[in-house]
Amino acid sequence: MAYENIRLETQGAIATLTIDRPKALNALNSKTLQEIESALHSLSPDTRALIVTGGGEKSFVAGADIAEMSTISAAQAREFAAQGHRVLMMLESLPCPTIAAVNGFALGGGCELALACDLIYASEKAKLGLPEVTLGVIPGFGGTQRLTRLVGKMRAKELIFTGGHVSAAQAKEYGLVLEVLPPEKLMEHCRTVAEKLLKNGPLAISQAKRVIEFGADQDLRAANELERQGFAVLFGSEDQREGMKAFLEKRPAGFTGK
């Protein structure tokens, strides 16, 4: 399918979603969100990892499109936020791991897009933040909640209340990104991580992702019960039998996702 504001490319079991609106620094408008949603729907069941990045050298995603937002009503804002939440929840809920390759500005909606991914790696040139209060609003695509769960309540309040942005190095210090890479090494690193993931059982990774995400909002007893159930259900899979047989036979496993 042809898209205007994004690119979706697949190489083997690894897909790459690129937000590509260079004149708007890849800002998220309604059409771009629609295209992201369509692209996520179109992912092959064989996709084992998704890398999300921004086109060009300056920006991952500079934010939501302020030019579009500046004239909308409260009712329209509610619909725009609902669209953003729906798309990012879809991204967050994919069964395969998702990797954000933050290659430049990741502000507002861009930071929220990265936060919806499982793993975040950043270029040395990256800047991350949620500056919505400087516009008289707050994050609207889940930033207040995902950031708080990632870096803690007090640090999230500082970042959101000040409306500033942090360097990639600061973001790593805060636990907002995992690693900081030279710009020319970022995508190579993300692809290397994705290829490592391909060696492991896809059903196991999907189940681990599910248990972590749902367990994070539960008390320890309920979360451990989720883990127990997820552990047990995998013993009905061909991947479990293949993985353990391969271990005993001292050979690489050939997982099929069944």
Q: What residues are labeled active site?
A: 112, 132
CA–CA distance, 3 with 195 (Å, rounded to integer): 26
88: left (phi over 0), alpha (psi -120 to 50) or beta: alpha
CB 43: neighbour CB atoms within 10 A? 16
- The answer to whether the beta carbons of residues 162 and 204 sit under 8 Å apart is no
Structure-block tokens of residue 54: 């921004």
Question: Listing from the earlier edge strand, what are the strands of the sheet with 59-61?
Answer: 59-61, 105-107, 127-129, 165-167
Distances (CA, A) of 20 to 44, 55, 75, 128, 153: 21, 5, 28, 18, 33
Rounded to an integer, what distance in angstroms lies between the CA atom of residue 154 and that of residue 167?
19
At 17, the amino acid letter reads L
Helix (H, G, I), strand (E, B) or coil at 61: strand
Specify which residues 10 forms β-bridges with: 15
Local structure of 99: helix, strand or coil: strand
